[in-house]
Amino acid sequence: MTITDAQTFKNFIGGEWVDAASGETFESVSPADGETIGIFPKSSAEDVDRAVAAAKAAFEDWRLVPAPKRGEILFRFARLVEDHKDDLTDLMTHEMGKVKAEAGGDVQEAIDMSYYMAGEGRRLWGQTTPSELKDKFNMSVRMPIGVVGVITPWNFPIAIPSWKIAPALVCGNTVVFKPATDTPLLGERFVELLVEAGVPAGVVNIVHGGGAAVGDRLVRHPDVPVITLTGSRETGVQVMRNAADHLKHIHLELGGKNAIIVLDDADLDLAMDGIVWSAFGTTGQRCTAASRVIVQEDVYDALASKLVAAAEKLRLGVGWEDDTDVGPVINRTALEKIDSYTKIGVDEGAKLLTGGEVATGNGLDKGHYYRPTIFGDVDAQMRIAQEEIFGPTTALIKVKDFDEAIRVSNGIRYGLSSSIFTRDVNKAFRAMRDLAAGITYVNAGTIGAEVHLPFGGTKDTGNGHREAGQAALDVFTEWKSIYVDYSGKLQRAQIDTAE
Ligand code: UN1
């Protein structure tokens, strides 16, 4: 496909497909081979304002639609995503670049989340509780909040929008959605299917464009009381700051520097499989990726050589071919950042065991490919062991014992995922308790979250919220406590409690 025959897409505002007010556009280009995927509106504050006005107006009816009915629309949406799983998967291999099996997993995660949240339409439980007074009834209920600004990354272009939009909708909120500029077509397809499922006009709006214009306006807009963002730590800090004047509810899902610990009693082949999957799956572009491997000294050499051999067997290529193991990274800027960290690692004195270069030849020059990279002899304080690289690079750190392993694993600013390979049940339980992270895996890598458990991290990974599972409902609702006095007389709490 060339730029001349690439299709042009629009924003969706108040039930209408419309161009950006400025008429400007940007292109979505495949990281796999440079093909143009589509042309999208480059929106500005004016477009955001229109979408917010539409979402605000639609909220008044949507919040009154019974939650089970809202859930039914999500059930229909989930079924539509299932029907379109193959074409969405194929599109994802082109627009985002991940390999087919993982792209299918990404779409499946959205199907699972949509079914799960659809079911929430018949739960959305609050509490009933006794009153301290006679003839009085107490309960708490979840209330929708209003317009939710949804800002999503490119690395899970179908799954992450579902983590945010499905719970936002079932809870009775309306949405203005800004997908990443690297994956606008997947965002657009997501919204098309929601519309087909029967979401009323104005309830979901999509505004394409960059963070500085579209995202920033959403974050500052007085009529958007909730912002949910998955992105970098730096963006998260900026969002909190810019939303502070309106005391918004902010949900942040930010970076990770996740480690896999391998103790000397571990099944090394199993650990190797977990590490290769967690470090190089999605080309390392997951916030749950294993970018550190903490290895007890007795098994360090054996594990390092197994890992290098496994990494060198991985086949790089376009994601839509069945025998590709590792796809491209998202764009040139990412490729340059990843490569710059290789130089940083070498300069810091780490030993480059394999990879460490842009991959070329066999058509790879048309896209952005980087060789799976493993550093050995890494000191826990080096930048490659502290900073999020978001690419296929992992750092092996040698430790003496379990306690040092836990210390090193926790010795970073982030706290998303963590993992330990051991056959010692006591150490496994200690690790479950002591690893300072939102997620801990035992005898599995750092990736593989399921939709019905809370997802999120401690420390600089976020601001204490979790998405997915029941925890997500706390982001998209506010509690209201209701007291009904049916005694027919004035009863004063804390005072008239004697009778
Ligand atoms: C992310 O990288 O932002 O557990 C999310 C996992 C995936 C989700 C990752 N299911 O790695």
155 lines ligand 1 (CB under 6 A): yes
Q: Which helix (H) or strand (E) holds 353?
A: strand 351-354
Q: Which of 287, 321, 336, 467 is catalytic?
A: 287
Residue nearest to atom 8 of ligand 1 (CA): 449
Residue nearest to atom 2 of ligand 1 (CA): 286
Ligand 1 atom with the shortest distance to the CA of 289: 11
User: Residue 279 in contact with residue 289, Cβ under 8 Å?
Assistant: yes
State yes or no: is 120 an active-site residue.
no
Pocket test for ligand 1, best of 96, 254, 287 (most atoms within 8 A of CB): 287
Burial of 140 (0-12, 13-18, 19+ CB in 10 A): middle
State yes or no: is 171 an active-site residue.
no
Q: Which of 109, 253, 388, 467 is catalytic?
A: 253
Helix (H, G, I), strand (E, B) or coil at 190: helix
316 closest CA partner among 341, 345, 280: 280
295 closest CA partner among 374, 440, 408, 190: 408
Residue nearest to atom 3 of ligand 1 (CA): 287
438 closest CA partner among 479, 474, 408, 471: 471
Predicted confidence pLDDT, tens digits, the chain (499 residues): 444 568 999 999 999 999 999 999 999 999 999 999 999 999 999 999 999 999 999 999 999 999 999 999 999 999 999 999 999 999 999 999 999 999 999 999 999 999 999 999 999 999 999 999 999 999 999 999 999 999 999 999 999 999 999 999 999 999 999 999 999 999 999 999 999 999 999 999 999 999 999 999 999 999 999 999 999 999 999 999 999 999 999 999 999 999 999 999 999 999 999 999 999 999 999 999 999 999 999 999 999 999 999 999 999 999 999 999 999 999 999 999 999 999 999 999 999 999 999 999 999 999 999 999 999 999 999 999 999 999 999 999 999 999 999 999 999 999 999 999 999 999 999 999 999 999 999 999 999 999 999 999 999 999 999 999 999 999 999 999 999 999 999 999 999 987 6
d(CA 282, CA 160): 14
Residues of the chain with pLDDT > 70, as a percent, come to: 99
468 lines ligand 1 (CB under 6 A): no
447 lines ligand 1 (CB under 6 A): yes
d(CA 18, CA 80): 24
286 lines ligand 1 (CB under 6 A): yes
Cα(287) to ligand 1 centroid in Å equals 6
Overall pTM > 0.85: yes
As a whole number of Å, the CA-based R_g of the chain is 24
Cα(289) to ligand 1 centroid in Å equals 8
d(CA 476, CA 481): 17
Tokens 């995660």 sit on residue: 109
In tens, the pLDDT along 159-178 reads 999 999 999 999 999 999 99
Residue nearest to atom 11 of ligand 1 (CA): 447
